[in-house]
């Protein structure tokens, strides 16, 4: 175990990124945020990487939240700067145009849940506890929780969680659509890796276009969202992967998409 709060490994088209501060239950401090940003910038710019898996070191926590020792001294100016940095880093992850899978176990609270919500998909281990308890500290989420949570689970459910600070079990998170799957603890990372390999085998440009269409469409009205899809569909129809995929279907064989 090294001294860096973020570790990353590239293997077989997959980037494995780990928040590695187990003594603090992987709380996010300034250094961790800086290194998280650097890791995902590298993933963004590395063409061999198709998918990323984000997890927390140890078995107690994905990310327990922000480092309270750094939050406590914040004032109006430094608080805004801290939130802006968090939004920049999580915005990078959300807009990566490569799928990012959050493998969540233990606690995912506050900034930890916000980090997971910035990922494309979320898989949780049985017994995981998730929530936005910032209100108990006299603050609100600062890394996108008030915006991403309602978009994922709906306004009413989000407000109940945000206003009470209630922590939910993984089974409830799955039921309301916050996570896509709950699995036994000893199957979490393997399940995430199996999904990552499935996504890595999909045609690159179609994956990028799907992520772009959903992300941009959710930020506009339905008519404009339709137009985004129309434009991207037209673009995709000019790709070699589209020609290969349709040809393979007609020839009743498995497609061989570009690496």
**Distance between CA atoms of residues 168 and 109, nearest Å:** 10
**Distance between CA atoms of residues 91 and 237, nearest Å:** 29
What is the three-state SS of 43-69?
Answer: HHHCCCCCEEEEEECCCCEEECCECHH
Q: 240 catalytic, yes or no?
A: no
- Exposed e or buried b for every residue in 216-254, given b needs 16+ CB within 10 A? ebeeeeeeebeebbeebeeebeebebbeebeeeeeeeee
> Per the residue annotation, which of 114, 219, 235, 240 is the catalytic one?
114
**Distance between CA atoms of residues 118 and 145, nearest Å:** 9
Q: 169 catalytic, yes or no?
A: no
State how beta strands 121-125 and 181-183 pair.
parallel
> Per the residue annotation, which of 9, 35, 37, 134 is the catalytic one?
134
**Distance between CA atoms of residues 145 and 165, nearest Å:** 12
**Residues with catalytic function:** 114, 134
């Amino acid at each position: 175990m090294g001294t860096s709060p973020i570790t990353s490994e590239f293997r077989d088209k997959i980037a494995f990124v780990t928040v590695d501060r187990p003594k603090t239950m992987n709380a996010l401090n300034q250094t961790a945020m800086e290194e998280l940003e650097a890791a995902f910038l590298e993933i963004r710019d590395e063409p061999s990487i198709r998918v990323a898996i984000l997890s927390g070191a140890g078995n107690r926590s994905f990310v327990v939240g922000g480092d309270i020792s750094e939050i406590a001294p914040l004032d109006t100016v430094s608080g805004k700067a801290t939130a802006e940095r968090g939004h920049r880093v999580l915005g990078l992850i959300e807009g990566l145009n490569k799928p990012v899978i959050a493998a969540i176990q233990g606690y995912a609270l506050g900034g930890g849940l916000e980090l997971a919500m910035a990922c494309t998909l979320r898989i949780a281990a049985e017994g995981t506890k998730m929530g936005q308890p910032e209100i108990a500290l006299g603050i609100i989420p600062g890394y996108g929780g008030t915006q991403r949570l309602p978009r994922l689970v709906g306004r009413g459910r989000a407000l109940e969680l945000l206003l009470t600070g209630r922590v939910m079990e993984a089974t409830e998170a799955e039921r309301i659509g916050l996570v896509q799957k709950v699995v036994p603890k000893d199957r979490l990372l393997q399940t995430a890796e199996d999904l990552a390999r499935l996504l890595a085998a999909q045609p690159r440009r179609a994956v990028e276009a799907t992520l772009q269409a959903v992300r941009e469409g959710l930020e506009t009205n339905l008519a404009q969202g339709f137009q985004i899809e129309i434009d991207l569909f037209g673009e995709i129809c000019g790709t070699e992967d589209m020609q290969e995929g349709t040809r393979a279907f007609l020839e009743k064989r498995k497609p061989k998409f570009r690496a």
